[in-house]
Amino acid sequence: AQTVTQSQPEMSVQEAETVTLSCTYDTSENNYYLFWYKQPPSRQMILVIRQEAYKQQNATENRFSVNFQKAAKSFSLKISDSQLGDTAMYFCAFMILGANSKLTFGKGITLSVRP
């Protein structure tokens, strides 16, 4: 079975600063995707960034980037130039390729951006 661990329950960052959210996972599979989702107070789940395990290059989406360490099974999210609108819960998630494409989520981390 696959597991996703987010060990930090909450973090806080000053506006315009950089913050890194940690995630580790466990799997015996070789082909999979990793995701970070954002859940603001509206409860909408928003895809932030996605990483294919077969790609060595770390994914980047504007102010969001990941540090994917496949051997260490680590997948951290870096948010640069934090904005007030980044305040939300962030979930790390995992999906095996070729299976039923269901997502396995971590427990999430609450990020607060201070003005």
Which residues in this chain contact another protein in the complex, by CB under 8 A?
A: 4, 6, 33, 37, 42-47, 50, 91, 93, 95, 97-98, 100-108
Closest approach of another protein to the CB of residue 100, in Å:
4
Closest approach of another protein to the CB of residue 90, in Å:
10
86-101 b/e (C-beta count within 10 Å ≥ 16 → b)? bbbbbbbbbbbeeeee
Nearer to another protein (CB atom), residue 37 or residue 68: 37
Closest approach of another protein to the CB of residue 16, in Å:
29
- Partners of 2 in beta bridges: none
CA distance 68 to 59: 8
Nearer to another protein (CB atom), residue 19 or residue 92: 92
Closest approach of another protein to the CB of residue 7, in Å:
13
Q: With the C-alpha atoms ordered 108, 39, 35, 101, is the resulting torsion angle positive or negative?
A: positive
Nearer to another protein (CB atom), residue 16 or residue 97: 97
Q: CA dihedral in degrees (22, 11, 40, 63; nearest 10)?
A: -60
